[in-house]
Chain A
């Protein structure tokens, strides 16, 4: 169903982090941006669709004005708002927001670290970091924290006047991933889902004030990647399972024993309902989701396997809304491998 295309070389290898691949299509310019995190650096490649031009950029996780501190990056993701696209980078120190081409850092939010932690030789027992990034609705970007809190930033259509507008408390464990409704057109009540290290899922409604609509309890295993499509939560777990829940009611529609190791990444092609899952077991699988409006339920069917030999996959994303192509990267791998439908 898919065949391998020419790989894109990147400057540094990918670190083993959940959802470690960012993809943004810039249709008017016929190019795609890719981001891959390597320790304290974000590797960025802009690739023209004709495959002739690749330009590279590296972003450091550096707190402005502090020369010495670099920290490990946990995630880099593109946030596409109706008015603008931003690249959001989360780390141990804080949250950075860049213009989508990585040229200018427009916003920096420092994480609160306990005062003692700044003293020498004293690091808090619980790791402090931000992780889980999602654009929601017209103007919001949500970012998860290791404390379980979720920060909501209000982003103006241009300029750097980004403000922290809300802090949502729904999780008790570290946030792993977050996703907004990706089906577009249709109006759904729930428009954001967040996941944590205990596998708990929170379903939110955005607005002036975000509302917690539903809490779907976990079963003590991390939910490492989550998506929201047509009112259905698609969640991937450390057990290699994928679960499909109705977001608002929490009804379990399907459970798939999908992978032999931890799932690291899920992605949905919203127009076709294709679902991509990738795991430490070196396999990428493509599934098909269909809604049956009569029974208000969703069905899932398996379509395709791709083995990336000897690679613990850490990032996998469709490159377009139909799922015509997808890209994959893995731990210690200095390339982005692309696959296109035959």
Chain B
């Protein structure tokens, strides 16, 4: 519905992905220089200028499959490799974490504070690399420019669009179960206590007025909860206290990444059917995105020493087991994209690709365009 949802979905899911990878890189004792390279490569790809330009254009959300493919590429933008089971697990963790944040954020507008928490953390990851930091800062400015002027209703529409995207996903996440914010059926716990959202009063008061506007009666009622007054509003500036903890890094050495696989049997049976027939427009978008991502996938492990594999499970056996036991309806069935073939079949796509070439005078034959794009991306 809201055509401004995609940038927030991408940035927040990307932020969660970085939290998880950062924790796994540490847990697997990957040498600091390699770990740093992985984080830097992924963040560089995520905040690529041309890519974000596309992302920030008003558009409908992608299908689940399409978005999953984008993150597959993103996770492999460096020398690190994840196998299918680990990638599935990574994606489950990312999506459930952001679903939780969208569902729990006190006001719809607070989704922006959640995004800023992710952006703040990403900036911290690259604080020693000014060139990447500049890219991230630029995106932060774009976020502020695009979103801080939106009304409460616009944000509610964004939130409702995100909730439709995450609808019927009930994967249980152990860190949430341990913290008692998720129930064993995969539903999140909604508190009826604690501070009310900024701008909301604790429910308990009925005021009645005369025709001239004077307050004539004031009555209290029991609200069935245990609410307290709102906290101060979080900062929507480029730096500042976001107040909400949603969107900050919840993983640490003592709180490692773990998942309980699969939704409950009841819920997995009705796994979402929303995007069974993906929007054909979304597919085109996906191709374009995948090309952009693909263009950056230049960090092929040169020799055996350089590349390495990260595991989202404690042992390789566990990982293998997870792949075999994963219910079919939870498999994402990643789409394989062959940009160079597709673009010949699609003039529109070719036109867009043309926009990414450095000179405007390319030949009408489109066969070389993919290479041009790759070359341009190589040069970044």
Contacts and interface: CB of A to CB of B under 8 A. Distances in A.
Interface of A: 12-13, 15-17, 38-40, 68, 70, 72, 74, 92, 120-121, 123-127, 129, 173-174, 176, 196-198, 220-222, 224, 238-241, 251-262, 281-283, 295-297, 299-302, 305, 307, 309-312, 331-332, 334
B157 to A, nearest CB: 6
A31 B293 CA distance: 55
Interface string B220-232: 0111110100000
Nearest to A298: B208
Contact of B211 (A40, A254, A296): A296
Given A13-B167, A239-B199, A261-B200, A125 B227 contact: no
Contacts of B201: 239-241, 257
Nearest to A260: B196
A92 B164 CA distance: 14
B152 A302 contact: no
A257 B208 CA distance: 12
Which 9 A-B residue pairs are closest in the complex by CB-CB distance?
A197-B153, A302-B221, A305-B224, A257-B201, A222-B153, A39-B274, A16-B163, A125-B58, A254-B208
Contacts of B219: 301-302
20 contacts: A12-B270, A12-B273, A13-B167, A13-B168, A13-B270, A15-B167, A17-B160, A238-B152, A239-B201, A240-B203, A251-B209, A252-B213, A253-B209, A254-B206, A260-B223, A261-B196, A262-B108, A281-B190, A300-B206, A332-B170
Given A13-B270, A296-B211, A283 B224 contact: yes
Given A252-B213, A258-B203, 19 more contacts: A15-B163, A16-B163, A16-B164, A39-B274, A123-B58, A129-B1, A222-B153, A238-B107, A238-B152, A239-B200, A251-B213, A256-B207, A257-B202, A281-B192, A295-B211, A297-B210, A302-B219, A310-B190, A331-B167
A127 B3 contact: yes
Contacts of B284: 120-121
Main secondary structure of the interface of B (DSSP, over half): loop
Contacts of B170: 332
The interface centre, meaning the residue of B209, B219, B221, B273 with most chain A CB atoms within 10 A of its CB, is B221
Q: Interface centre among B210, B225, B272, B284, by most A CB within 10 Å?
A: B225
A324 B190 CA distance: 28
A68 B203 CA distance: 46
Interface stretch (B14-22, B111-119, B181-189, B336-344): B181-189
B213 A221 contact: no
B60 interface: yes
